[in-house]
Amino acid sequence: MNDPTLFGLCGATLVGLGLYGLLCQPGALRKILAFNLIGSGVFLLFGVIALRGGGVLAAAGRGIDGDPVPQALIITGLVVAFAATSIAVALLLRLAETSGRTTLENEAPPAPSLPGERASRPDGES
Amino acid sequence: MDLAALLVTPFARLTELGGLLLVIPLMLPVVGLLLAPLLRGRWLGGGLLGRFTLLLLLLGLVAALAVATAVLTGDEALKYYLGGWLPPLGVALKADGLSAIMLLLSAVVILAVGVYAQREFQVPPDASETRASLVFWMLLMGVWAGLNAAFLGQDLFTLFVALELLTFSAVPLVALDGRAETLAAALRYLLFALLGSVLYLLGAVLFYGTYATLDITLLAERISGEPALPPAIIAAAALMTVGLLAKTALFPLHLWLPPAHAGAPPPASAILSALVVKASFFLILRLWFDVMPGALTPMVAQILGGLGAGAILFGNLVALRQARLKLLIAYSTVAQIGYLFLIFPLAARAESAALTGGMLQVVAHALAKAAMFMAAGLIAKALGHDRIRDLGGCVRVLPLTLLAFGLAGLSLIGLQPSGGYLTKTLLTAAADGTGQGWWGLVMQVGGLLTAAYLFWVFGHVLFAVPSTPAMPLKRPGRAQELVVLALALGALLLGLVPPALFDLVGVGRAGLEASATVATAMAGAFGWSKLWGDVWPLLVVGLLVLGMLPWPDRPAGGSPRPATTSLSVSGHWAAVLGTLLEPADRGLRQWPVAGLSFLILLLALAAAISTGA
């Protein structure tokens, strides 16, 4: 097995693990971590594509052994993923502070929807 | 030509800039975003410096108008290459007709929201500044920058960054008031949107790995030269589409939308519902119509159209069961998103009608829904709640707001001469013309259900026991009411816009005859028989709904009371339907179930693409 295939399979495994975690783990923190796993898998895959060479510079006849463009994009992607994680963690911390909840499973009942006093009042019969 | 001359004159100097013009809509929001912390919330929401925000938004509108004029009169897409570097090394910005429409639409809606929010987030002179009063303006600018970048970007990675900027600005808007339930809604929205965007990124990576470029034009060239799509591209297309569907909240991936859109402050809900979900839809259009037009196989189109039809029926039915006005409007958004996806099955053989109808739906829904959310906000402010059952008598308190709400509703139903009418007529004609009459049927049923919940709301407003105080808790500002009314009128009168302007849809796209299709659709709109044919089903629905006003009450947390409390046959069936639908909706909005639908959709789309490849 050559390097690109090995790393590619690793990336795929990470994406799969992360996908499972994001969809099936009830805890919000685990979901956030799972999102980071998927992100790492995608970046690894992008790295493999760079390692494989080719790309823009190869088409121009230069830089045959490796493609620099994905690396620039990976760095941007890392920054974006970092920002996403920090927003999610900040929201989760605030949620835990205000309500003590750390999961998203049991949705709160839809606010003060149908108040109890309606039961005592006769329904307006039109 | 007369019309063209009239359009060009005010923007002559601006349109001379050519491609450079595209930088302005990207620059203005970022300037606003950076200056906002210096100016502080106290000054941004009202006061002399508060005009600064509005000035910025007005400048944005002028820039968007200039772009639209330049695109329409020049009859070709505007392009700008950053730093003068051509793709594949450089990054391109491009405004074709669709981008120009979206730029203009977002400038209009954001300006309206800005005017509305001046009062909503005002800091009283003697009070200390709150977090929301500053952060709202920063996030508004962030959303605007993200939207404009998503509409102008020509590079899959630029579009990814734009989508993320949009998500990161939209999510905190949901949780602006800091209550636990809105925080949970925001977190849910963020996590699901992140899942969508990371899959989009994975798709973009696969595109790069196969074709060594991310530029849309170059990709389209390279893909059209292929005899068959490579497997990596099939996977990429399926991943990107499903990821973007999750961000658009198309049924059955709508788990995050209702709590997020209903929980946000009204101006934020207006932005989220009117514009934010449209950006990811716009990218789906880009993907299927610009990057890989050949890959839209009939199977893919039918799957997307089927989801759209499901959204229309399901969203409208669940909306009918909502007890709170804002949740009703949020579910109505779930339904209205469905119409957008009917474009795909119709586009193969009736592209003009399908694309024009779809863009009209984007515009009409954005205007109408922004108006409805802001009207609901005014109602909630004035009454202190937004329970539909207790709206009785509020028409005395807020006549203008309710008028705007109703007019916006007419556009959602699709009555002449609204944008909704044009959408429905164009899409129905396309469906009949291509032998797929069932899509037209779905739209008819959707329109009737929309009418049903609007009658439901107005039935309570007009006929229920007046339980609201004669004096509002907080009287809405005149400017707020007027801006809501203006948006609603915009949606309602969209059909009266000169058809020549609709040609904007087709700029940069071969063989689209938007103005001709619109002119045909409007030609017969006002005949008596046509009007009567459209109105009588609505009247029947109206009578049915008014007949069941004493809706079977559902005690909070308990099982539905037997339908005996209901007095009418229609009420009984509605109750039965409700007991079926609500658990279904709750089930679909569970994470594992949504995840399962996500994966099934992914596989189905991949299979559907490969059948045609």
Distance of CA B265 to CAs B45, B120, B130, B272, B421, Å?
15, 9, 14, 10, 30
| Sequence letter at residue B518 | V
Residues of A in contact with B392 (CB under 8 A): 124
Q: Do residues B323 and B388 touch, judged by C-beta distance below 8 A?
A: yes
SS3 A96: helix
When CB atoms are compared, the residue of A76, A107, A113 closest to B324 is A113
SS3 A62: coil
Q: What is the pLDDT of residue A26?
A: 85
When CB atoms are compared, the residue of A52, A67, A94 closest to B183 is A94
Q: Which residues contact A100 (CB under 8 A, 6 or more apart)?
A: none
Cα separation, B372 vs B389, whole angstroms: 18
Q: What is the pLDDT of residue B470?
A: 60
Report the greatest alpha carbon distance in chain B: 73
For residue B155, give the DSSP letter. B
Residues of A in contact with B172 (CB under 8 A): 87
ipTM score of the complex?
0.85
Cα Rg of chain A, angstroms: 24
Cα torsion angle, B141, B147, B152, B156, sign: positive
Cα separation, A113 vs B387, whole angstroms: 6
Contact criterion met (CB < 8 Å) for B549 and A126: yes
Q: What is the pLDDT of residue A105?
A: 65
CA B142 to chain centre: 18
User: Which chain A residue lies closest to B190 (C-alpha atoms)?
Assistant: A88
Q: Do residues B574 and B559 touch, judged by C-beta distance below 8 A?
A: no
Residues of A in contact with B142 (CB under 8 A): none
For residue B80, the surrounding DSSP H or E stretch is: strand B78-81
SS3 B110: helix
Cα separation, B352 vs B601, whole angstroms: 28
Residues of B in contact with A55 (CB under 8 A): 208, 212
Cα separation, B400 vs B387, whole angstroms: 19
DSSP labels, B379-409: HHHHHS--BGGG-TTHHHH-HHHHHHHHHHH
| Nearest alpha carbon to residue B203 among B609, B612, B571 | B609
Q: What is the pLDDT of residue B198?
A: 93
| Nearest alpha carbon to residue B254 among B168, B185, B343, B159 | B185
Alpha helices in B464-527 (DSSP H): 478-492, 514-523
| Nearest alpha carbon to residue B422 among B522, B338, B499 | B522
| Sequence letter at residue B499 | P
SS3 B215: strand
Q: Which residues contact A72 (CB under 8 A, 6 or more apart)?
A: none
Q: Where are the domains of chain A?
A: 3-99
- CA B206-B207-B210 angle, to 5 degrees, is 85
SS3 B417: coil
Length of chain B: 613
Distance of CA B327 to CAs B264, B285, B337, B377, Å?
11, 28, 15, 12
Contact criterion met (CB < 8 Å) for A107 and B184: yes
Q: How many CB pairs under 8 A join A and B?
A: 160
Residue B513: how many CA atoms within 13 Å on its side-chain side? 6
User: Which chain A residue lies closest to B200 (C-alpha atoms)?
Assistant: A42
Q: Do residues B479 and B469 touch, judged by C-beta distance below 8 A?
A: no
Cα separation, B185 vs A24, whole angstroms: 18
Contact criterion met (CB < 8 Å) for B172 and A76: no
When CB atoms are compared, the residue of B167, B209, B465 closest to A124 is B465
Report the greatest alpha carbon distance in chain A: 83
Q: Which residues contact B495 (CB under 8 A, 6 or more apart)?
A: B416, B417, B418, B419, B421, B422, B522, B525
> What averages of pLDDT result for each successive group of 10 residues across chain B (613 residues)?
62 73 91 83 60 86 90 86 84 90 94 88 72 85 95 93 94 89 91 92 91 89 85 91 93 88 91 93 92 85 92 90 88 92 87 87 93 92 82 81 91 86 88 86 90 87 69 76 91 85 82 79 78 82 75 42 43 70 81 87 90 68
The token pair that represents B433 in the structure block: 């013309």
The token pair that represents B401 in the structure block: 């707001």
When CB atoms are compared, the residue of A26, A69, A95 closest to B187 is A95
Contact criterion met (CB < 8 Å) for A95 and B590: no
When CB atoms are compared, the residue of A15, A80, A88 closest to B191 is A88
A32, A33, A52, A123, best to mutate vs chain B, most B CBs in 10 Å: A123
Residues of B in contact with A87 (CB under 8 A): 168, 171-172, 190
Q: Do residues B72 and B100 touch, judged by C-beta distance below 8 A?
A: yes
Contact criterion met (CB < 8 Å) for A88 and B194: yes
Q: For chain A, give the percent of residues with pLDDT over 70.
A: 71
For residue B93, the surrounding DSSP H or E stretch is: strand B92-95
Query: Phi/psi at B324 (nearest 5 deg)?
Result: -110, 140
When CB atoms are compared, the residue of A23, A77, A109 closest to B557 is A109
What b-and-e string marks burial along B227-262, b requiring 16 or more CB atoms within 10 Å of the CB? eebeeebbbbbbbbbbbbbbbbbbbbbbbbbbbbbb
For residue B526, the distance in angstroms to the closest alpha carbon of chain A comes to 34
Q: What is the pLDDT of residue B553?
A: 45
Q: Do residues B420 and B444 touch, judged by C-beta distance below 8 A?
A: no
Cα separation, B326 vs B15, whole angstroms: 41
SS3 B78: strand
SS3 B415: coil
Distance of CA B511 to CAs B10, B86, B514, B520, Å?
30, 27, 9, 17
pLDDT digits (tens, 9 = 90+) for A37-74: 999 999 999 988 888 766 555 555 555 567 778 888 89
Residue B82: Cβ within 10 Å count: 12
My answer on whether omega of the bond before B88 falls inside 30° of 0, hence cis, is yes
Q: What is the pLDDT of residue B135?
A: 86
Reported pTM = 0.89
Residue B157: how many CA atoms within 13 Å on its side-chain side? 26
Decide if domain A3-99 falls under CATH 3.40.50. Answer: no
Contact criterion met (CB < 8 Å) for B188 and A104: yes
The token pair that represents B96 in the structure block: 């074709």
B164 burial via Cβ count (<10 Å: 0-12, 13-18, 19+): buried
When CB atoms are compared, the residue of A87, A107, A124 closest to B550 is A124
Q: Do residues B456 and B323 touch, judged by C-beta distance below 8 A?
A: no
Q: Do residues B93 and B154 touch, judged by C-beta distance below 8 A?
A: yes
Res. A123 pLDDT band, cuts 50 70 90 = very low
Cα separation, B13 vs B182, whole angstroms: 46
Q: What is the pLDDT of residue B572?
A: 62
Contact criterion met (CB < 8 Å) for B464 and A124: yes
For residue A33, the distance in angstroms to the closest alpha carbon of chain B comes to 11
Cα separation, B602 vs B604, whole angstroms: 6
Query: Phi/psi at B95 (nearest 5 deg)?
Result: -120, 105
